[in-house]
Structure 1
Amino acid sequence: MHTAYRWDADPKAFQLRAVQAQLEGTDMVAQAPTGAGKTALAAGPHLWPGNEKKFTIMVCPLLTLEEEMCETFVTDFGLQAVALNSKNEACSPSLTSCSIKDILSYKYQIILVSPEMLQSRMFTNCILRNTRFMKDIISLFIDEAHCIVLWGTDFRKKYGTLGKVRAFLPRGTPVVAVSATLTPRVVRAIWASLHFAHSNTQSRYQNEGNDRPNVSIIVRACEHPLNTFADLAFAIPTNLQAITDIPKTYIYVDNIATGGEIIDYLNHRIDQNSSIATASEQVRASFRGIVRPFNATLSHRYRTLAMSHFCDGKIRILVCTDTAGMGCNIPDIDRVIQWKLSATFSHFIQHAGCAARGRGRTGVAVLLVERSAYNINIFNSGSTTKSTSVSHSKGKGKGNKRVDPVTDPPKEKREQADVRDYVLAHGLLRGESQGVDAIPNGAQPLLCEDSADEGLLVFVQSISCRCAVWARVFDNPYPLTPTVPCCDICVPSLFDRTRPPPLPPECRARNLKRGKPDLAVRDTLRTWRKAMFKTHHASAQYDETSILDDDLILVLVSHGSLNTQQALNLIQDKWPFHHMYADEL
């Protein structure tokens, strides 16, 4: 492998063990950090004498990842690879598909498919039932194997039935499942779903951990109202001279519409930057389009072009969904920001793993969470743990049952003072504009191994090293040897890289009392709306209410006297034209 792949170092031990397992016909589950070289696990067996013309079926979750992996196998490993999907007419129900003909003539050593394609009638009849061809399979290789658990029960049910494919594999064909995020619960689920118990040999589990010692971790609560996105202000430096002053950044959102609003906000900050406002037209033009969306709803051509421009540095910030994260192979991403709590700890670790993948690089992963994430008291009555002698229950809970704070929140009502004391003791105010970053003085929350969020809330509310929580959840070695400041608990000065600007008191529209609408002002706003429509949208397919609908007008005229910022805070999250017409309104 060292010689054939022209590496400057020998293969890692886990790579050799995974290649050996496939040559021996042994099933394996492997966890290794993002960027650790998991792709080599599928390529390595092809170097064994006699395997040159054999093939591996590789399951990938995303079309973009399939295309990227095809290029990787050709350029990095010298293997011919093909992605079977709708783009190359592989969905043809007959053997007339060029891709199918080429596969059956052993043109390709790596066949990349989605779970749906792998279990389709076409693939089953043309490939899996072809016993003469299938006798030359090396292994069934499942990339991003955590998706079996993450998606297999609802979103993409074919992930949950991958184990059925074993019926078509020759006896002794190994199944290899790899991922960068495997909790013990997920490993057990994968083992059961892929029917490892029915294999001829004892399956193996290779755990290299998933720690990223070159990435600093920062977790803080959003200080400002979420619909202002002011907590993302740090993504755009104050003093901008060139686009390279903005670090290459992924901003992950769970909602595509929210992503669009974030893009508007960041572009607005660029436009309002004092250095840009006074710069030449040529300089201002260079900053246009450097913040872009990236998600599955966009065309393949756009995504390919956007990713190319991001790699080249022409785009500095991609606001994206999971589409951009899985299998990401960009070496120089400086910063990853997760906007609001992700569904599970694995989601965040997958996203954080995109940062600083290149050798010798360092990066930062930021988790900006809702303030409500600190309100959940993880010390449920009845929760106990063998690792501590301190009881956090309030008298009644003396059993040994571990309670999941996500799916089984405490039913008793908590006093307001208790809630306030709890959130402050677990770091709610750390990292805010006032610079109060003292180490939290509450009790360390306890991990529940089978929690629905995989311990993400414990990670957020931790009062000790966040990397220790990370290591505990994914069974990583600890203590670690980081090459950068570890986390905001160990090095609070990291907050200086993500601190939000203070908002003046008048910008807050909290607790504004709603009363009777001012009908005269309503009529004035309708007149203004009509004028805007005639001036700027006369040929549009929509009508004037799209500029500012009656519901938003009713909100504005029912709160008495408002300054500009208060009015914007009331409606801007529901007003698509706020960046265009806010000043005039």
Structure 2
Amino acid sequence: MTIQTIQTQHNLIPQPLQQRLAQNVCKQTIREKLHKQFGKRACLWQLKVAEVFLKKAGDVVCIAGTGMGKTLAFWSPLALTDTGVQIVVTPLNQLGHQSVTFLGKAGIKGISISAETASLVNFRDIEDMRYRAIITSPEQLVKPGGEFEKLLQKPTFALQIMGFVFDEAHCITSWGEFCNDYKELEHLRLLHMRSENLLMVHMSTDKPNIKICVHKIRYSLSSYADLGFLVPTGWTPGDQKIKWFNSDMTSKFKEVEVDNLITGDTWGLCMTESFGMGMDVPDIILVIQWRATCSLSTVWQRFGRAVRNRALQGTALLFAEKEHFDDVHEEKQKRQQNKKRKAADTPQNHTEPDGNIVMGAGDSVPNDTLPVGNASVSDAQLKELMKPNTEVASKQKKQRELDPAMDWLINAHLRGIGCRHKVSSYDGSDTANTSRSAQFMHFLASILQQSRQRHMPS
């Protein structure tokens, strides 16, 4: 017996409750269909994202931790409708190949357009609607006079577009400084996002199954001797079990090495941003950031590459230069003060304490070197403490400056603030960046508005 039948025959269910029950039944039906097609059970936030695409009801900004299922959220509409195409812009070609494989298992045809695959034949197939998922890079999307530009100007194709998705959207701002194609995306936006038709999905980015440790680099930076523990006993030059992975490598090399890492033929990768974001490698148990040269948002993204399988436990290690630690600062100040004294006492030799390389619970710090303060700091207090310095600095000084939030992460054990504070407690310039990213993701809005009526459920 349906909800409507019960309502009609017995008039027992109030109208608001009836609507909520109907929505729950609808969500359960969608969950079952997605589970059947993708083998994954969708969460409520993923269903909300999919609903916006299906109804063409507005725009979405989705923030969630690595491995939580953002990909499922924006591919779901393809499984719930028989028409329409989804265009996804991704920073790495390897993510495109991964998405095509994922969709293929669900019976959905997709294509990854890169420099190697941007042929006239493939674009003709896209125009003929032989693919429902199109994954491409900013380089291909903004190419002047390129095939995408021509394709998007054709109304018959534009009306079929369900939505544009910017995967790994933080790259729009963080990569814009060195990747001109990301910077060019700004010229494609036509409208600003408006709050009245914007869905903001903001899930926690914390991953409690990752242990976070901070190491003080003890040896010279050029020697990399602190990383010696990574090389297994018996390794000899030529084994090549730990390999480089960067943008200079061929696409074929990257595909092979991702498979080798998953199977265990390769023990580890020394990588740049060319690997990691969104890569479906679920059992990486150790991630290392060498030197504190990036922002907290960047290092958090890199740490999130560990144990995407939430049933596993992983470790994230930050190796930071010793000059960034409060105890080293204080020891240096003491030495400088002693040099200035004209006391007749015998000069003392001040050496760095010989402690463990890993700063764990067993490490001790002299009480007189700890700053005076509370044993615990609230998120609100921490947010105030981490406000960036507004003083205008020279370019050279900026390059030497430590990100304020990274400073607090490195010295958390010395400042008595505890651990596992919300990353969002530090906003710095992130608020502005988030707004800019939202604007970028709304580009080609006029095309989407034309296609909304076509795909609006009756």
The TM-score with structure 2 as length reference comes to 0.69
Aligned partners of 2:52 and 2:59 also within 8 Å: yes
Quote how far apart the aligned CAs of 1:159 are. Answer: 2.2
Gaps of 5+ in 2: 1-30, 339-351, 391-401, 429-458
Match of 1:20 among 34, 44, 51: 51
- Counterpart CA distance in 2 for 1:9 and 1:128 is 33
- Counterpart CA distance in 2 for 1:126 and 1:222 is 53
Cα distance change on mapping 1:138 and 1:164 into 2, 3 Å: farther
Query: Which residue of structure 2 lines up, in the alignment, with residue 465 of structure 1?
Result: 418
Query: Which residue of structure 1 lines up, in the alignment, with residue 107 of structure 2?
Result: 78
1:34 aligns with 2:58: no
- Counterpart CA distance in 1 for 2:172 and 2:212 is 27
Query: Which residue of structure 2 lines up, in the alignment, with residue 69 of structure 1?
Result: 99
SS in 2 for 1:233: helix
Cα distance change on mapping 1:324 and 1:39 into 2, 3 Å: same
Cα distance change on mapping 1:202 and 1:163 into 2, 3 Å: farther
- Counterpart CA distance in 2 for 1:322 and 1:420 is 43
Deviations 1:336-365 (A, max 9, x none): 111111421122111111111124111101
Quote how far apart the aligned CAs of 1:372 are. Answer: 2.1
Quote how far apart the aligned CAs of 1:432 are. Answer: 2.2
Quote how far apart the aligned CAs of 1:204 are. Answer: 2.1
Aligned partners of 1:100 and 1:126 also within 8 Å: no
Q: Which amino acid aligns with 1:195?
A: H
Match of 1:432 among 357, 363, 381: 357
Cα distance change on mapping 1:313 and 1:124 into 2, 3 Å: closer
Deviations 1:137-196 (A, max 9, x none): 1111000000111022x21233234354355xxxxxxxxxxxxxxxxxxxxxxxxxx721
Deviations 1:419-457 (A, max 9, x none): 999xxxxx9976427986126833577212699837222
Deviations 1:299-338 (A, max 9, x none): 2222222221111101111111111111121011111111
Aligned partners of 2:214 and 2:358 also within 8 Å: no
Query: Which residue of structure 1 lines up, in the alignment, with residue 179 of structure 2?
Result: 156
Q: Which amino acid aligns with 1:131?
A: P
Cα distance change on mapping 1:102 and 1:369 into 2, 3 Å: same
Quote how far apart the aligned CAs of 1:5 are. Answer: 3.7
Match of 2:386 among 430, 435, 447: 447
1:305 aligns with 2:256: yes
Aligned partners of 2:34 and 2:76 also within 8 Å: no
Cα distance change on mapping 1:46 and 1:310 into 2, 3 Å: same
Cα distance change on mapping 1:428 and 1:453 into 2, 3 Å: farther
- Counterpart CA distance in 1 for 2:370 and 2:313 is 30
Aligned partners of 1:32 and 1:207 also within 8 Å: yes
Query: Which residue of structure 2 lines up, in the alignment, with residue 141 of structure 1?
Result: 165
1:335 aligns with 2:286: yes
Query: Which residue of structure 2 lines up, in the alignment, with residue 384 of structure 1?
Result: none
Aligned partners of 1:84 and 1:111 also within 8 Å: yes
Quote how far apart the aligned CAs of 1:373 are. Answer: 2.1
Which runs of structure 2 are paired with 1:149-228 in the superposition (5 Å)? 149-152=173-176, 154-167=177-190, 195-197=192-194, 201-228=196-223
Q: Which amino acid aligns with 2:91?
A: P
Cα distance change on mapping 1:166 and 1:229 into 2, 3 Å: closer
Query: Which residue of structure 2 lines up, in the alignment, with residue 270 of structure 1?
Result: 235
Q: Which amino acid aligns with 1:432?
A: I
- Counterpart CA distance in 1 for 2:89 and 2:110 is 13
SS in 1 for 2:200: strand
SS in 1 for 2:265: coil
Which runs of structure 2 are paired with 1:325-474 in the superposition (5 Å)? 325-374=276-325, 416-417=333-334, 431-432=356-357, 437-438=363-364, 441-442=370-371, 443=373, 446-448=385-387, 453=403, 455-463=405-413, 464-468=417-421, 470=423, 472-473=425-426
Q: Which amino acid aligns with 1:32?
A: A
- Counterpart CA distance in 1 for 2:388 and 2:62 is 19
> Which structure: greater helix fraction?
2
Q: Which amino acid aligns with 2:333?
A: Q
- Counterpart CA distance in 2 for 1:319 and 1:370 is 19
Quote how far apart the aligned CAs of 1:56 are. Answer: 0.8
Cα distance change on mapping 1:450 and 1:39 into 2, 3 Å: farther
Cα distance change on mapping 1:4 and 1:14 into 2, 3 Å: closer
- Counterpart CA distance in 2 for 1:132 and 1:11 is 32
Aligned partners of 2:288 and 2:317 also within 8 Å: yes
Deviations 1:515-565 (A, max 9, x none): xxxxxxxxxxxxxxxxxxxxxxxxxxxxxxxxxxxxxxxxxxxxxxxxxxx
Number of corresponding residues = 353
Quote how far apart the aligned CAs of 1:471 are. Answer: 5.1
Aligned CA RMSD, in angstroms, stands at: 3.3
The TM-score with structure 1 as length reference comes to 0.55
